[in-house]
């Protein structure tokens, strides 16, 4: 059984953001602007994505 994945791309800088928002960026595995990662579609990952939606581009795979 394959798990659904989400492609997440950081499109805005994490400079000057709240500490909790920076923690969400790190939790998703993002470090640089325009870096993309694929994460498993879980409620935990969805929560982090929803919290910092303004600095991400999200695609369902």
Total residue count of the chain as it appears in this document: 61
pLDDT band at 1 (very low <50, low <70, confident <90, very high): low
Whether the predicted pLDDT of 3 surpasses 90 = no
The whole-model pTM stands at 0.89
- Report how far residue 4's alpha carbon sits from residue 60's, in angstroms, rounded to the nearest whole number: 8
Domain that holds residue 50: 5-35+44-60
Q: How many structural domains does the chain have?
A: 1
Q: Return all residues near 32 (Cβ < 8 A) that are at least 6 apart.
A: 10
Kindly report the CATH number assigned to the domain that includes residue 56: 3.30.1390.20
Kindly report the backbone phi and psi dihedral angles of residue 21, in degrees, each rounded to the nearest multiple of 5, phi listed first: -75, -40
Give the mean pLDDT of the chain: 95
Token pair, residue 17, equals 């953001």
pLDDT of 23-50, one tens digit each?
999 999 999 999 999 999 999 999 999 9
């Amino acid at each position: 059984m394959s798990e659904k994945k989400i492609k997440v791309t950081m499109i805005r800088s994490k400079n000057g953001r709240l500490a909790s928002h920076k923690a969400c960026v790190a939790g998703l595995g993002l470090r640089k602007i325009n870096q993309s990662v694929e994460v498993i579609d879980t409620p935990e990952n969805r929560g982090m994505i929803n919290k910092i939606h303004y600095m991400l581009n999200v695609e369902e795979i």
